[in-house]
Amino acid sequence: MDRTHLLNELWEYQLKFGYISEKAISRISKKLKVSIVEVESVTTFYHFFHQKPTGKFIVYLNNSIISDIKGHEAVKAAFEKETGSTFNEYGDNEFSLFDTSCIGMSDQEPAALINFQPFTDLTPKKVKGIIDSLKNDENVKDIASKTKSKIQYHPEGDKAIIFRSYEMGKSIREGIKYSPDEIVDKISKAKLLGLGGAFFPVGYKWNSCKNNEADTKYIICNADEGEPGTFKDRALLQYLPGLVIEGMVLAGYATGAKEGIIYLRAEYQYFKKRLEGLLEEFRKTKLLGKDILGVKDFDFDIRIQLGAGSYVCGAASALIESLEGRRGEPPVRTWSATKHGFRHKPTVVNNVETLAYASRIIELGEDHFLSLGTEESPGTKLISISGDVAKPGIYEIEYGTPIIDMLGIEMSQATSPYFIQVSGPSGECINNTEFNRRICKEDIMCGGSFMVFNRTRDLLNILRNFMEFFKEESCGVCTPCRAGNYILNEKVKKMQRGLASQEDIKEIKQWGNIIKLSSRCGLGKSSPNSLIYAVEKFKDYFNLKIPPTNEFLNVEFDMQDAVQEFDSFIKDTQPELDK
Amino acid sequence: MKPVKFKIDGRVCTAEKGQNLIEAAKANGIFIPTLCYFKHLNPLGSCRICTVKNNGRPIAGCTLNVDEGMDIEVNSAELLDLRKAILEMMFVEGNHFCPSCEKSGDCEMQNLGYETGIRYARFPHLFVDRVVDARPERIVVNQNRCIKCKRCIEEIKTNDGHKVFHLTQRGNRTMVSVDYEQEAKLSEQQAEHAMHICPTGSILVKGKTFGKPFGDRQFDYAKANTNIPLTDLKKHVNKNKKKKRVATASLAGCFGCHMSMLDIDLGILDLVDIVEFDKSPLTDYKKFNERCDIGLIEGGCCNTDNIEVLRKFRKNCDILISVGECAIWGGVPAIRNTLPLEDCLKEAYIDSLTSEENETVIPNHEDIPKILDKVYCNHDVVKIDYHIPGCPPNANHIWNVVKNILFEEDYSITYPEFKYD
């Protein structure tokens, strides 16, 4: 067996039996001719693979901060009450309940996946209904929620780039009028940036892949949208999947790659069938397959690879590791993927949104794209707005739009916004003196996640949620990220317990910088950001909450808290003296 | 291969183009510490201790190949502190009880701790309950000590090329697991190789761990002629008094540090000439008579009495020093920190081999102190001015620190006097 099929093989066992048994692992290891522990290393890495039997229904309830502020706790309690199972303990043979990080449904929280079918806008009452139906043998799929996000805003009339009418094959037809070189040139001219969050120039990437001679090349669509708060890639794949596919075909045409892979995050597998249907339709209309649209030797086909629950796999290098059937650890990089990527061949990894924009640039021409936005970041950008706003959903905004406009009456209608997290937990937070900042390369970029919190939200609670997320999602291979995020999380806990002083604030900044300087990949290099920015930008809050450092007895110690455990059980261990 | 010129901390170095930075630096007489880099293995880049800056950009030195014109920063204050910090993270993440470790003295991580002069960790110890796996045929894997460097994963393979170790789980639960089937195929020699390349005491070969006795190990008397200056001590000059006052206490410890204090033998006679002991087990004074210049604390805090004594010391001493591993981070008593308190007490008083059913009880009375949920180190409870590591610390180490603080002369200790065990 080819190692690249490992994830699919594991998925087969997982979906069929609810877990991957020791026997199965042993069998797979023989097929791969590797040791058992090597297969275990992969199965234990991914959140959605289980080593112990699970119930007939597996519930994954999102524990992201947006879910939290929209009533996660009550919904969680309702699930436990109705099913009789406890979260994160394998439960009975009916229901297994698990926490999971953001499932790309931040405009419809609290949300959960039950056997990977989506259930959104949950309330305790709704949970009861769902569990009752499941107990009555109703089909999960039949009672699942519709998940399409509302497209709340796009530039008026002809200006919109993404949200305008779509005609299947139009971009490809337009594209083949040009040579591959010209395509790369058009993308470069349009200054298209990678929209997954790294903002790497797309033209440069395509060009470098094109110039690297090889018998095989790959185009990978990164649909592993894991940053909490973002759901724009899901929306694109639900509304305009054709645009993304055409972007891949064009990338193949431009670079000479003949194989495309959509790395779809496991949380989105409920629309995998629909995507596959669409790919089939593309093949039938000669937009995929051999000699596309009759152009000789223009061959390109796409398959979908399902992820298995890992945030770090959203980083291109880790994603390739995962595709090759290994742990999603970002490798030590000696080559760029455009030289030695998937199977050691030149590979372009682009985000869903990037590919959609690439097709539109070819379709509409780069001049249309350049006429919008700012000098360094032309065009528009999809933003997923969630949190304390009246209109959560997808926004196609022109680059250069001030944050204040995005919060205003014309757009998301935020209610007394206080803390805004731009680009998710790994991004930057914004306080109310910065609302005139603009989303563009010249000022602040946004990967897609835009979470708004009002004054009633507890800042420490938000930051704790972020740190718990990184602690869980670190791949575990390098020390500063694996241990450092754990340690920073302990710091936040200390602040929550009221035992911190201003000295701790200083340490957060110092320790955060150490983690950022020494971590191996983008996860560790950005995970302390939210915390460092928050203590810097919300001084009012932290000055109020955290007392200044006391020169003499600078350490707070809660003795009452430290003996509580002893007090709580000691009575039951004593003989009854009265008798 | 073409020779290239590059700079390390401003010094011009030469090496072959593409040579690994760690090797290239070594050839030029510059030592870049690392715990995962290993001879012929592809760079693993996992421990991050060798982090350097290349033209201002931070990168793991072991993953860097030298090239013409590179400007590399290795020993700047920032990077030295960063290296120390990463090592401290390793210490707090695992449960590294040097005094009870079979590898002590042969441990690369411990030695790097000495080299970088770590006296205590700036981070809180995490005390995660970790497995000691004795199921394999020849080896024992102690997860408490593993730093996930991946050396064993890449290096140790069976004769038919199968891996014996691999990372499993992720995040803070990541660990190096053993493949029992493959491990059984290892030869004695291969198993010992695994033990030797492990930079900590995580992989041990059953029956082979004490092959070399303590005291004869590679780092025991390393650099015996080098002195460590005792810097960054707060000098304390109080000219009003003739004799300086010192108080000592033993909290959750074993009195071993106090024993060690007496180890300066006749030197103690000189000492009583210049300092006076206040509250201390040495004088048996139960209360402070006067304000003291220095308080020496042995042991951490495991009960409410420890907390009160410690707070009293803080109130009555100008400078407070944690002496020994228990005082610094909990030490041996903190082995219980990975387990619930109730389990520990039940094991000790109710389910122990010598206790008879229904005859014993967990002691609880208003006159005896309550047990805390875990053992706290002293700087969790009050501000501590200085830490003296060791189990116990060497007598010279203790008294030279005291003399440094009390008198204006500088004293230093020898390299082998700085130990964690």
Residue A61 contacts residue A110 (beta carbons within 8 Å): yes
Q: Are residues B51 and B153 in the same domain?
A: no
Residue B329 within a domain: yes
Q: Are residues B259 and B401 in the same domain?
A: yes
Query: Chain B within 8 Å of A40 (Cβ-Cβ)?
Result: yes
Would the CB atoms of B182 and A35 count as touching at under 8 Å? yes
Residues of A with CB below 8 A from B150's CB?
477
Would the CB atoms of A565 and B342 count as touching at under 8 Å? yes
Residue B82 within a domain: no
Residue B302 within a domain: yes
CA atoms within 13 A on the CB side of B201: 23
Query: Chain B within 8 Å of A37 (Cβ-Cβ)?
Result: yes
Q: Are residues B194 and B315 in the same domain?
A: no
Does the domain at A459-545 match CATH 1.20.1440.230? Answer given as yes
- Which pLDDT value is given to residue A579? 45
Residues of B with CB below 8 A from A556's CB?
none
Q: Are residues B68 and B105 in the same domain?
A: no
Q: Are residues B352 and B231 in the same domain?
A: yes
Q: How many angstroms from the chain centroid is the CA of residue B186?
A: 32
- Mean pLDDT for each 10-residue chunk of chain A (579 residues)? 92 94 95 94 95 93 96 95 91 90 94 95 95 92 89 89 93 94 94 92 94 94 95 95 96 95 95 95 94 92 95 93 94 87 94 95 93 93 95 94 92 92 94 93 94 94 96 94 95 91 92 95 93 94 86 74 91 70
Interface test with A, best of B41, B64, B112, B167 (most A CBs within 10 A): B167
Compare CB distances from A475 to B123, B170, B376 and report the shortest one's residue.
Answer: B170
pLDDT in tens, B286-296: 999 999 999 99
Query: Chain B within 8 Å of A555 (Cβ-Cβ)?
Result: yes
How many domains is chain B built from?
3
Minimum CA–CA partner of B179 in chain A = A37
Minimum CA–CA partner of B363 in chain A = A574
Greatest CA separation found in chain A? 98
Q: How many CB pairs under 8 A join A and B?
A: 190
Q: Are residues B355 and B290 in the same domain?
A: yes
A240, two tokens = 């305009």
Interface test with B, best of A481, A566, A569 (most B CBs within 10 A): A566
Backbone φ, ψ for residue B118 (5° rounding): -75, 120
Residue B199 within a domain: yes
Compare CB distances from A555 to B148, B169, B382 and report the shortest one's residue.
Answer: B382
Compare CB distances from B47 to A479, A514, A566 and report the shortest one's residue.
Answer: A479
Return residues 146-205 of A near B (CB < 8 Å): none
Total residue count of chain A as it appears in this document = 579
Q: Cα distance from A28 to chain B (closest Cα, Å)?
A: 14
Query: Chain B within 8 Å of A577 (Cβ-Cβ)?
Result: no
Compute the C-alpha angle B5/B10/B15, nearest 5°.
25
Q: Cα distance from B10 to chain A (closest Cα, Å)?
A: 21
First to last CA, chain B: 46
Give the H or E element holding residue B52: strand B51-54
Q: Are residues B399 and B250 in the same domain?
A: yes
Residues of B with CB below 8 A from A313's CB?
none
Residue B64 within a domain: yes
CATH class of A57-143: alpha beta
- Which pLDDT value is given to residue B359? 83
Q: Cα distance from B373 to chain A (closest Cα, Å)?
A: 5
- Which pLDDT value is given to residue B411? 82
A105, amino acid identity: M
Minimum CA–CA partner of A556 in chain B = B381
Interface test with B, best of A35, A321, A333, A468 (most B CBs within 10 A): A35
Backbone φ, ψ for residue B209 (5° rounding): -75, -25
CATH of the domain at B45: 3.10.20.740
Return residues 467-486 of A near B (CB < 8 Å): 471-480, 482-486
Would the CB atoms of B93 and A482 count as touching at under 8 Å? yes
Residue A101 contacts residue A228 (beta carbons within 8 Å): yes
ipTM of predicted assembly, 2 dp: 0.94
Residue B92 within a domain: no
Full residue range of the structural domain in which residue B29 is found: 3-75
Q: Are residues B345 and B248 in the same domain?
A: yes
- Which pLDDT value is given to residue A553? 55
Residue B69 within a domain: yes
Q: Among A488, A513, A50, which Cα is nearest to B172's?
A: A488
Would the CB atoms of B163 and A487 count as touching at under 8 Å? no
Residues of B with CB below 8 A from A478's CB?
45-48
Q: Are residues B106 and B238 in the same domain?
A: no
CATH superfamily of A153-370: NADH-ubiquinone oxidoreductase 51kDa subunit (3.40.50.11540)
Q: Among A48, A353, A359, which Cα is nearest to A221's?
A: A353
Interface test with B, best of A38, A45, A471, A510 (most B CBs within 10 A): A38
**CA–CA gap between residue A167 and residue A182 (Å, rounded):** 23
Q: Are residues B252 and B383 in the same domain?
A: yes
Give the H or E element holding residue B386: strand B386-388
Compare CB distances from B148 to A477, A559, A567 and report the shortest one's residue.
Answer: A477
**CA–CA gap between residue A315 and residue A515 (Å, rounded):** 18
CATH of the domain at B175: 3.30.70.20
Residue B183 within a domain: yes
Task: List, in order, residues 6 or more apart from A505 with CB less than 8 Å away.
Answer: A535, A542, A546
Q: Are residues B370 and B264 in the same domain?
A: yes
Compare CB distances from A570 to B85, B147, B364 and report the shortest one's residue.
Answer: B364
Compare CB distances from A332 to B44, B350, B381 and report the shortest one's residue.
Answer: B44
Compare CB distances from A35 to B123, B163, B173 and report the shortest one's residue.
Answer: B163
Residue A468 contacts residue A530 (beta carbons within 8 Å): no
pLDDT per residue, tens digit, chain B (421 aa), is: 789 999 999 999 999 999 999 999 999 999 999 999 988 888 899 999 999 999 999 999 999 999 999 999 999 999 999 999 999 999 999 999 999 899 999 999 999 999 999 999 999 999 999 999 999 999 999 999 999 999 999 999 999 999 999 999 999 999 999 999 999 999 999 999 999 999 999 999 998 888 888 888 888 888 888 888 877 776 666 666 678 899 999 999 999 999 999 888 888 888 888 889 999 998 999 999 999 999 999 999 999 999 999 999 999 999 999 999 999 999 999 999 999 999 999 999 998 888 888 888 899 999 999 999 999 999 999 999 999 999 999 999 998 898 888 887 788 888 889 999 8
- Which pLDDT value is given to residue A158? 86
Query: What is this structure's pTM?
Result: 0.94
Specify the residue for token string 């400007």.
B71
Q: Are residues B133 and B249 in the same domain?
A: no
Domain limits, chain A: 3-43, 57-143, 153-370, 459-545
**CA–CA gap between residue A119 and residue A117 (Å, rounded):** 7
